[in-house]
Structure 1
Amino acid sequence: MKKILILGAFLLVGVGFAQTTKPVLEQEGNLVKATYYYDNGKVQQQGYFKDGKLTGQWIAFDEQGNKKSIGEYVNGAKSGKWFFWNDKALSEVDYSDSRVAAVKSWAQQAIVNK
Structure 2
Amino acid sequence: MKKIITICLLFMATIGFSQENKPTYETVGDLIKVTYYFEDGAIKTQGFFKDKKLSGEWTSYNNEGKKIQLAYYNEGKKVGKWFIWNNENLKEITYENNSVAYVKTWKTDSEVALNNK
Shorter chain as denominator, the TM-score bin is: 0.7 to 0.9
2:33 is the counterpart of 1:57? no
Give the structure 2 partner of residue 81 of structure 1: 81
Opposite residue 72 of structure 1, the aligned amino acid is Y
What is the Cα-based RMSD across aligned positions, in Å?
Answer: 1.3
Match for 1:85: what amino acid?
A: W
The amino acid of 1:93's aligned partner reads: I
Identity within the alignment, %: 42
1:21 Cα deviation from its structure 2 partner: 2.2
Aligned to 1:29: 29
Write out per-residue CA displacement over residues 39-86 of structure 1, whole angstroms, 9 at most, x where no aligned residue.
Answer: 011100101000000000110000000000102100001101000000
**Between Structure 1 and Structure 2, how many residues are aligned?**
91
Name the aligned partner's letter for residue 45 of structure 1.
Answer: T
Please state if 1:101 is matched with 2:98: no
Structure 2: gaps (5+ residues): 1-19, 110-117
Give the aligned residue type for 1:79.
Answer: V
Structure 1 residue ranges (4+ consecutive) displaced by more than 2 angstroms after TM superposition = none
Unpaired stretches in structure 1, ≥5 consecutive residues: 1-19, 110-114
Distance 1:61 1:78 in 2: 19
Alpha-carbon distance in 2 for matches of 1:23, 1:83: 23
Q: TM-score, normalised by structure 1?
A: 0.76
Task: Say which one has the larger Rg.
Answer: 2
Q: Secondary structure, in 3 states, of the residue corresponding to 2:79?
A: strand
